[in-house]
Amino acid sequence: MESYVTGLRCAGCGHGLPVQYALSCPRCGGLLELEYDLERMAGLPRDRLSGPGIWRYAFALPVRDPAHRVSLGEGNTPLYDCPRLAEAIGVRKLWLKFEGTNPTGTVKDRTSATAVSAAREFGYKAIGVVSTGNAGSSLATYGTRAGLRTFIFCYERGSQPKLNHMAACASDLVFYRGVYDDMIGVFDRLVDEGLVFDGGASRNPFKHEGKKTIAYEVAEQLGWAVPDFFVAPVGVGETFIASYRGFRELAAMGWTAGVPRMVAAQSAVANPIVRAWREGGDLVPQRIGYTVAEGVAVGNPDAKGRYVLDILRREGGLAGDAADADIVAAQKLVARTEGIWAGPTGVVTVAVLRNLVRAGQVPSAARVVCMVTETGLKGEYPPIHPEGIVPDYEAVKKLVMARLGGFPA
């Protein structure tokens, strides 16, 4: 299917540009966003969509030449109706949008698909990113699959499962010491000189755009309807903004009746959005502490952070945070009630929803979708060293019967 992209527009000053690889507004330096011919898109046959992975929604994505589109079957992730979890949390209806079934186990695969495809469209042979894990392994996977060189700049002490993954899939894995902020400065200069295509989360609108498909999928899975609340995690803000933009487009096209109330979920030790939202002021960059939710450990989300705040204020959204203990408890609750194994970053939304329900900010009659951005398989957990029982039939039978409540010995 053809792309209906028409151009770029600055989210700050409104300046418009034709479709091109640009990372900031030439007038004001603001964030650039992609625009589409929504009027023509409205007439597309929404009940006969097809295509591999996120390219099911190729009309709403910015890669024009189908030959440039790479897919590993990302997206089309399940939307789990979770009645037991809903009851435990105290809302009428709760769905989890589980991104753990993506090829590398995280939501990042959606943006890797559009970033790598755009790199091909603009003639690049190499793509890069600075990452401690999920983004790096995802981009390495997609870049390699598309035949590009992949420069993954990785913190030397990243988590082992992710280091192994990146080491296997990246053509060029470069470890660095020091802090992310130093490396990102170096990386941005490489990008600005055109040595590698920008696979980072903060500037490139073509990369960002892949996550917009979350909104399209959720709406389609609900029969072209939207929930009352949509809870998305906020680190840099990519998932939140992209989902919101998707819901906005769908409403503008008349495919859905409106947009959900957006809820920004953060870790309590990396919560600049939540603070500004509660206190009513500007975004204040923050020196962050350790959080189990490493994917949202961002103290200065910068331009995208301000944009998130803007959406929350303009649209009557909500923001909330959760302590590490709440996040770990949410991870267990999701696993024990619904059998779904998600990582700590993935369940920040669930922990935050629980807090907001308790505080009365989300009503019990609400119908809610929580993004769950990653599988639990990529985490590092405290080792378990159990002592097993000896396989003796009578002893095991007694144990099983006692637990089942029948004929306890």
Which is closer to its own copies, CB of 389 or CB of 409? 389
Which is closer to its own copies, CB of 289 or CB of 339? 339
Instruction: Give the SS3 label for residue 336.
Output: helix
Judged by CB under 8 A, the residue of 359, 365, 390, 409 near its own copies is 390
Interacting positions 296-335 with its own copies (CB under 8 A): 331-332, 335
Which is closer to its own copies, CB of 155 or CB of 229? 155
Phi, psi angles (nearest 5°) of residue 265 = -110, 130
CB 295 within 8 A of CB 134: yes
Which is closer to its own copies, CB of 279 or CB of 392? 392
Interacting positions 172-211 with its own copies (CB under 8 A): 172, 174-178, 182-183, 185-186, 189-190, 193, 195-196
Judged by CB under 8 A, the residue of 281, 339, 363, 364 near its own copies is 339
Judged by CB under 8 A, the residue of 13, 257, 284, 399 near its own copies is 399
User: Amino acid identity, residue 58?
Assistant: A
Nearest to 168 by CA among 187, 150, 195: 150
- The number of residues that bind its own copies (CB under 8 A) is 87
Instruction: Give the SS3 label for residue 191.
Output: helix
Distance CA 50, CA 175 (A): 40
Judged by CB under 8 A, the residue of 6, 24, 300, 337 near its own copies is 337
**H-type alpha helices, 170-301:** 180-192, 205-208, 213-221, 238-253, 272-279
Interacting positions 96-125 with its own copies (CB under 8 A): 98, 100-105, 125
Which is closer to its own copies, CB of 257 or CB of 401? 401
Q: Which residues contact 135 (CB under 8 A, 6 or more apart)?
A: 108, 112, 129, 199, 201
- H/E element, 130: strand 126-131
Distance CA 80, CA 162 (A): 26
Interacting positions 345-384 with its own copies (CB under 8 A): 375-379, 381, 383-384
Nearest to 60 by CA among 76, 49, 68: 49
Nearest to 90 by CA among 341, 319, 349, 353: 353
The yes or no reply on residue 163 touching its own copies (CB under 8 A) is yes
Which is closer to its own copies, CB of 199 or CB of 317? 199
CB 330 within 8 A of CB 323: no
Interacting positions 59-78 with its own copies (CB under 8 A): 72-73, 76-78
Nearest to 101 by CA among 320, 408, 373: 373
Residue 101 beta carbon to its own copies: minimum distance, rounded to whole angstroms: 5
Judged by CB under 8 A, the residue of 27, 278, 313, 336 near its own copies is 336
Residue 403 beta carbon to its own copies: minimum distance, rounded to whole angstroms: 6
Give the range of 146-154, 250-258, 276-284, 319-327 binding its own copies by CB under 8 A.
146-154
Residue 271 beta carbon to its own copies: minimum distance, rounded to whole angstroms: 26
Residue 223 beta carbon to its own copies: minimum distance, rounded to whole angstroms: 14
Judged by CB under 8 A, the residue of 21, 80, 122, 224 near its own copies is 80
Interacting positions 251-290 with its own copies (CB under 8 A): none
Judged by CB under 8 A, the residue of 231, 251, 274, 340 near its own copies is 340
Angle formed by the axes of helices 134-145 and 160-169, to 10°? 20
Interacting positions 20-49 with its own copies (CB under 8 A): none
**Strand pairing report for 229-233 and 261-267:** parallel
- H/E element, 289: none
Tokens (6 digits) for 398? 């007694």
